[in-house]
Amino acid sequence: MNNTLKLVISIVVPQLLGGLGALVTVASIGSWYQSIEKPFFTPPSWVFGPAWTLLYLMMGLAVYLIWKSQHPFKKQALVVFIAQLVLNAIWSPAFFGLESPILGLVIIIPLWVLILICIRLFFPINKIAAYLMIPYILWVSFAMLLNASIWYLNL
Could you list the pLDDT tens digit for every one of the 155 residues in the chain? Answer: 799 999 999 999 999 998 888 887 777 777 888 899 999 999 998 899 899 999 999 999 999 999 999 999 999 999 999 999 999 999 999 999 999 999 999 999 999 999 999 999 999 999 999 999 999 999 999 999 999 999 999 99
Helix (H) or strand (E) holding 97: none
Distance CA 125, CA 15 (A): 24
CB atoms closer than 10 angstroms to residue 65: 20
Q: What is the pLDDT, as a whole number, of residue 34?
A: 87
**Could you tell me if 53 and 90 are in contact, meaning their C-beta atoms sit under 8 angstroms apart?**
no
What is the length of the chain?
155
Alpha carbon separation from 89 to 23, 53, 93 (Å, rounded): 11, 13, 8
Question: Half-sphere exposure (CA, 13 Å, Cβ side) for 132?
Answer: 20
Distance CA 5, CA 22 (A): 25
Distance CA 8, CA 12 (A): 6
Q: What is the pLDDT, as a whole number, of residue 32?
A: 86
Q: What is the pLDDT, as a whole number, of residue 23?
A: 80
Q: What is the pLDDT, as a whole number, of residue 50?
A: 94
